[in-house]
Homo-oligomer: A and B are copies of this chain.
Amino acid sequence: MTTVRPVETPAAASAPALPGDVLARLRAIVGPEHVLTGDELSGYADPYSFLENPVRAAAAVQPSSVEQVRAIVLLAGECHVPLWTVSRGRNYAYGGAAPRVAGSVVLDLQRMDRVLEVDDELGYVVVEPGVSFLDLHAHLAALGSRLLISVPDLGWGSVIGNALERGFGYAAHGNHSANICGLEVVLADGTVLATGMGAKPGSPAAPLYRGGYGPSLDELFLQSNLGVVTKMGIWVQPRPDTIVVCHARTAGDAELGPLVDALRPLLLDGTIQSPASVGNATVIASMMSDRATWYTGEGAMPPEAVAEIVSRTGLGWWNAGFALYGPEVITSARLQVVRAALEAIPGVTFDETTYAGDVDPGKVHPADSAKLGIPGTAMVRMAAWRGGEPAHTDFSLVCPNRSVDVLRQRDLIRAGVERHGFDYGGGFTMFPRHTIALALLSFDRSDPAQRQAVRDLFPELIAQASALGYAPYRSHTAFMDLVAEQYDANDNALGRTLATLKDALDPNGTLSPGKQGVWPGRSLAALDA
């Protein structure tokens, strides 16, 4: 039997009261100052919400230890109170710390903020959920560590949260979820599960070997409501002698296809070690200027305004950035190969900056910092692009890393956002075989028409992409059910399997119900009962 059901309509977004003594018992577990209610919950609202009646939490609880997490999880199960787990809850583009189900208690892990292990020799760290990229970078610097972490666009987020949500960064280990090695997870029954080699008492290999014995469970906890991750090992690259940050710029829109097809083989054979991020002039302009500088008319910014950005800033129509790492003799050879491949494309210009030895962060070009493993928060400026009340949300499609698909997705996304009066600021983060196609959508949250346009646009884009065989890898909480419904092959085999796992591991259905469209009580066994 389950008590948690989806909240699909704005009307249901008002929070039901928590059962009797739940707040008192939570306060007894973590201390009264770490249970937040009422006006103290402003940090747990979606700061960029486009909903008319955003979903609200009933309370938030901030444990400081695994034992406290266990106690909270067991209490929630006993009292049938939905929890919504966030590591730091700072991914504002996808909903921040706000829950999927109104009246949830946000289980906020930000106080668990220890860096538990740093190993320069074997290239890994072990962290708790509250550790941000900014924290980790500072911690490593203070230790004098020779590790170079891969950081995403904004450094304030949780290293664990980012990796679990399949976020990515821009150094050699930029595919963060692929570098997870060894989790500690609190399950709904209070079990503290150590995955992989962590299940072997005393093993030094938990953060080293992704296997173990029998099935691997780490990836069960990606974008997941099957447990609460309280510890993670993640692989980190050694800081090399030389880093060459490369930039390729296109004269116009037409060179995007050839650029993609030139970068792919260099990524596939490892000549380029980082992901290649390819952004258009509009998205880069939005990181350093206001829209009004370029355009003040109605509707989406026209091509002439984009051309103006290109001509006045020196940006390309499309701008690719990536990095080469290693001893100087090897980065020089890599650079020679890369330069030859990119300079062969008419309409593409190429340049690079070489950083050797210890890098002075004050002398790093802002566009290069992420490739050097230096986290920042400058990109938050993007949300103010449209003026008014800054807000931002992202649309993220999985795309094969080849021009035919990239161009199809570019056209689909651009047409969609422009139809609704938004500017097409976005691009592609390219990995060897796939790329993530992004529309970075900034809007004025104080404008009801813009909020409505976001609500209209996303379902349209999801449906149009789906018809071509494409789907998002991630979404705002408001669209989680809709995205999950696209993954319905073979009579919804994946959804049915996830429902079976959910009901087996969380029979009371209290862990983050609805996350990624996985709801409790929907397995065949539960429906029969």
Contacts and interface: CB of A to CB of B under 8 A. Distances in A.
Contacts of A124: 433
Interface stretch (A110-118, A360-368, A498-506): A498-506
Interface of A: 121-124, 166, 172, 177-178, 181, 187, 189, 191-195, 197-205, 207-224, 226, 235, 237-238, 240, 264-265, 268-271, 273, 325-327, 329-330, 332-334, 336-337, 398-402, 405, 432-434, 466, 468-474, 483-484, 486-491, 493-498, 500-501, 503-505, 515-518, 523-525
Nearest to A195: B494
A166 B211 contact: yes
Contacts of A472: 213
Contacts of A516: 213-215
Contacts of A265: 238
The 4 closest A-B pairs by CB, nearest first: A504-B504, A202-B469, A216-B219, A199-B494
Contacts of A401: 122, 208
Among A200, A471, A505, max chain B CB count under 10 A is at A200
Contacts of A191: 490-491, 493, 496-497
Tally of this chain's copies: 2
Given A191-B490, A493-B192, A327 B210 contact: no
Contact of A204 (B166, B172, B469, B517): B469
B213 A223 contact: yes
A211 B177 contact: yes
A220 B222 contact: no
Contact of A264 (B121, B221, B473, B493): B121
Given A200-B486, A205-B399, A433-B209, A222 B216 contact: yes
Nearest to A219: B216
B213 A224 contact: no
Contact of A337 (B205, B327, B486, B501): B327
A237 to B, nearest CB: 7
13 contacts: A199-B494, A204-B405, A205-B398, A205-B434, A212-B473, A213-B487, A214-B224, A214-B498, A215-B516, A216-B220, A217-B494, A238-B265, A503-B504
A147 to B, nearest CB: 10
Nearest to A331: B333
Given A235-B433, A238-B268, A224 B215 contact: yes
Given A121-B264, A193-B497, A271-B326, 8 more contacts: A178-B210, A191-B497, A193-B494, A199-B495, A214-B494, A214-B498, A270-B270, A329-B337
Contacts of A434: 205, 208-209
Contacts of A172: 270
B213 A483 contact: yes
A200 B487 contact: yes
Contact of A122 (B193, B433, B473, B505): B433
A273 B270 contact: yes
B271 A187 contact: no
A505 B500 CA distance: 7
B433 A271 contact: no
Contact of A484 (B213, B432, B466, B524): B213
B213 A473 contact: yes
A161 to B, nearest CB: 15
A469 to B, nearest CB: 3
Contacts of A194: 489-490, 493-494
Given A199-B489, A214-B518, A518-B214, A398 B271 contact: no
Contacts of A330: 271, 330, 333-334, 337
A483 B211 CA distance: 14
A333 B329 contact: yes
Name the residue among A218, A226, A468, A489 with the largest chain B CB count within 10 angstroms.
Answer: A489
A296 to B, nearest CB: 39
A259 to B, nearest CB: 16
B270 A398 contact: no
A387 B433 CA distance: 48
Contacts of A325: 269-270
Contacts of A332: 333
A191 B486 CA distance: 18
Given A122-B433, A216-B222, A219-B217, A470 B329 contact: no
Nearest to A475: B213
Centre residue among A166, A172, A203, A518 by max chain B CB count within 10 A: A203
